[in-house]
Amino acid sequence: MDSLLYHSKELLLLDSQKKYDYKQEINNSMALEVTDSNFEELVNSGKPMVLDFWAEWCGPCRMVGPIIDDLEKEYAGRVTVGKMDVDNNNDVVAQFGIRNIPTILFFKDGKVVDKQVGAAQKAAFVEKVEALLK
């Protein structure tokens, strides 16, 4: 019985380390941090924009996050790719009526032209970004 208890504590420790690693991963994200204060400037910069509305506690957001970071690398200089934490940016979240996360909005000329609600394969995001560039 003591052995089982020890293994349970060890698993809990490993689980808590995984959560910590995820927080580090968010902080090391390649995508731009978009906030209520810099949103207007970024969306009206003349470049298309992909904006991921997410939260740290959101499981599906964890699946989409690495895809968003990949898009930032692949489309650097051509498309602004950013992430907005819904828990800390109420104004823009309310402006676009974001009720489910992850929600990814695709902007062209400062206007929303496409949307993805929920997790999806990378190919779906690439297709939408390519459409922004046409």
Listed as own residue / partner, the contacts of 37-42 with beta carbons closer than 8 Å and 24 or more positions apart are 39/84, 39/89, 39/92, 42/80, 42/82
Residue type, 38: N
Q: Where are the beta strands (DSSP E) in the chain?
A: 32-33, 49-54, 80-85, 103-108, 111-117
Annotated active-site residue 61? The verdict is yes
- Determine which one of 61, 92, 93, 98 is catalytic: 61
In angstroms, rounded to a whole number, what is the distance separating the alpha carbons of residues 109 and 44?
Answer: 7
SS3 content of the chain, % helix, strand, coil (to 5): 50, 20, 30
Annotated active-site residue 40? The verdict is no
- Determine which one of 31, 58, 64, 104 is catalytic: 58
In angstroms, rounded to a whole number, what is the distance separating the alpha carbons of residues 60 and 57?
Answer: 9
Active site residues: 58, 61
